[in-house]
Amino acid sequence: MTAHGMDEVDGIVSAWRRERPDLDTSPMSVLSRASRLARHLDLRRRTVFADHDLEPWEFDVLACLRRLGPPYAATPGQILAELLVSSGTMTNRIDRLESRGLVARSPSARDRRAIVVTLTPSGRGLVDEALAALLACEEEILSPIDDADRDEATRLLRALLLPLESADAARPSKTR
């Protein structure tokens, strides 16, 4: 449907307007595009990560540790709080990353009963390479719009996202 600057969503919304003229389909014009964009972005990210022999969740854990700065270490609880996964899931993920030599476990210096997960030099190198490739991919995705439009898109998406994240934070969850 790209012949006249129209995309697939234009066709979907047009069909719904024809079939259900009693409904306001305008939310679809924004949110169906956001949904389709999220799917395209997810596919592109998965490709970038696969090129670096990473699963998306592996990148997420390694990136979480990398963003902390030296010594690139955190407890599993700190990591799972940021990534919003269960403790069982986090244990499995750390086991798998440790078996690949990307993270190491050690007893906490403060509390010998606690464990600290540290990014290894190999893990740091891999996440740094994957991040550079991810940013190049995302730059390509955003290339059709200029800096002013990016700033406006950022502002608008933040305005939509903040109330949803606030509601999620207020809701009790099994993963926290």
Strand-pairing partners, residue 104, are 118
pLDDT (0 to 100) of residue 176? 42
Listed in sequence order, the residues at least 6 apart from 125 whose beta carbon sits closer than 8 Å to its beta carbon are none
**CB atoms closer than 10 angstroms to residue 138:** 14
pLDDT (0 to 100) of residue 175? 46
pLDDT (0 to 100) of residue 109? 80
Distance between CA atoms of residues 79 and 13, nearest Å: 41
Is residue 174's pLDDT more than 70?
A: no
- Structure-block tokens of residue 93: 């993920």
Which of the two residues, 1 and 42, has the higher pLDDT score?
42
**What is the per-residue burial (b if ≥16 Cβ within 10 Å, else e) of 81-111?**
ebbebeeeebeebbeebeeeebbeeeeeeee
Which of the two residues, 114 and 51, has the higher pLDDT score?
51
pLDDT (0 to 100) of residue 67? 97
What CATH number belongs to 33-144?
1.10.10.10
**pLDDT tens, residue by residue, 6-31:** 899 999 999 999 999 999 999 999 99
**pLDDT tens, residue by residue, 33-81:** 999 999 999 999 999 999 999 999 999 999 999 999 999 999 998 998 8
Entry pTM? 0.83
Contact 130, 59 (CB under 8 A): yes
- Structure-block tokens of residue 90: 């986090």
Q: Please name which of 91, 96, 100 lies closest in space to residue 125, comparing C-alpha atoms.
A: 100
**pLDDT tens, residue by residue, 77-103:** 899 888 888 888 899 999 999 999 999
Percent of the chain scoring above 70 in pLDDT: 94
**Would you kindly state where each structural domain of the chain is located, as residue ranges?**
33-144, 145-176
Is residue 4's pLDDT more than 70?
A: no
